[in-house]
């Protein structure tokens, strides 16, 4: 499968959920965005790395970075490999420089960890078309006016959040479609 490069665009607070944030990953050279709900500690670690801040005590990602350097392990890339029922799956691809391509190790990881590690190691973040087509949004303007996402793969929390955004934008037709999806899940 062909990999699609992503970049971290922003981390947004989830409003009603004080411990949840949305990590917005943007398709490089495209107009799709991949929103991933992450926890507060992961959001903080990613924000610290994006802002170039050095914490007083090392975070777990700092420890992993120093550990990998100590044992000459290279992090090649992070890949968001799949999304099922609103849950994203990722892997971190590692190798030892000088080893053959057959010696590459793929480590299962939470998407937030894979992104944080990629930022720490300054390596690329990728996904596949299947992930973007299931969970990606096309944002037409800077106010994040979305073209209709695939509601079936979203979590209940994500549905309620996007419902609130649709109501705020007075897109009542789309809000009714989201409401119907929520009601169908309750049956």
Tell me, yes or no, whether 38 and 63 share the same domain.
Answer: yes
Tell me, yes or no, whether 138 and 163 share the same domain.
Answer: no
- Give tens-digit pLDDT for 75-123: 999 999 999 988 999 999 999 887 776 688 999 999 999 999 999 999 9
- Given strand 32-39, what is the order of strands in its sheet? 105-109, 87-95, 74-84, 125-128, 3-14, 17-27, 32-39, 137-138
What is the length of the chain?
Answer: 187
- Domain span including residue 76: 3-143
- Give tens-digit pLDDT for 135-179: 988 865 444 444 455 677 678 887 888 788 777 776 676 777 788
The count of structural domains within the chain is: 2
Cα distances (Å, whole numbers) of residue 69 to 45, 66, 120: 19, 5, 12
Tell me, yes or no, whether 72 and 152 share the same domain.
Answer: no
Tell me, yes or no, whether 112 and 176 share the same domain.
Answer: no
Tell me, yes or no, whether 101 and 167 share the same domain.
Answer: no
Q: For residue 110, give the CATH number of its domain.
A: 3.10.690.10
Tell me, yes or no, whether 159 and 132 share the same domain.
Answer: no
């Amino acid at each position: 499968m062909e990999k699609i490069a992503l970049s971290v665009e922003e981390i947004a607070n989830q409003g009603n959920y004080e411990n949840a944030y949305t990590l917005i990953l943007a398709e490089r050279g495209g107009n799709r965005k991949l929103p991933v709900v992450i926890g507060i500690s992961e959001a903080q670690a990613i924000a610290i790395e994006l802002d170039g801040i050095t914490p007083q005590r090392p975070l777990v990602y700092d420890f992993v970075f120093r550990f990998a350097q100590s044992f000459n392990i290279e992090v090649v890339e992070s890949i968001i490999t799949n999304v099922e029922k609103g849950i994203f799956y990722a892997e971190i691809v590692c190798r030892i420089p000088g080893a053959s391509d057959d010696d590459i190790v793929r480590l299962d990881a939470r998407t937030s960890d894979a992104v944080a590690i990629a930022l720490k190691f300054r390596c690329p973040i990728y996904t596949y078309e299947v992930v973007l087509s299931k969970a990606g949004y096309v944002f037409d303007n800077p106010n994040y006016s979305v073209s209709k996402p695939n509601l079936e793969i979203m979590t209940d929390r994500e549905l309620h959040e996007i419902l609130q955004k649709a109501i705020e934008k007075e897109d009542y037709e789309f809000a009714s479609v989201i409401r119907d999806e929520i009601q169908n899940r309750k049956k």
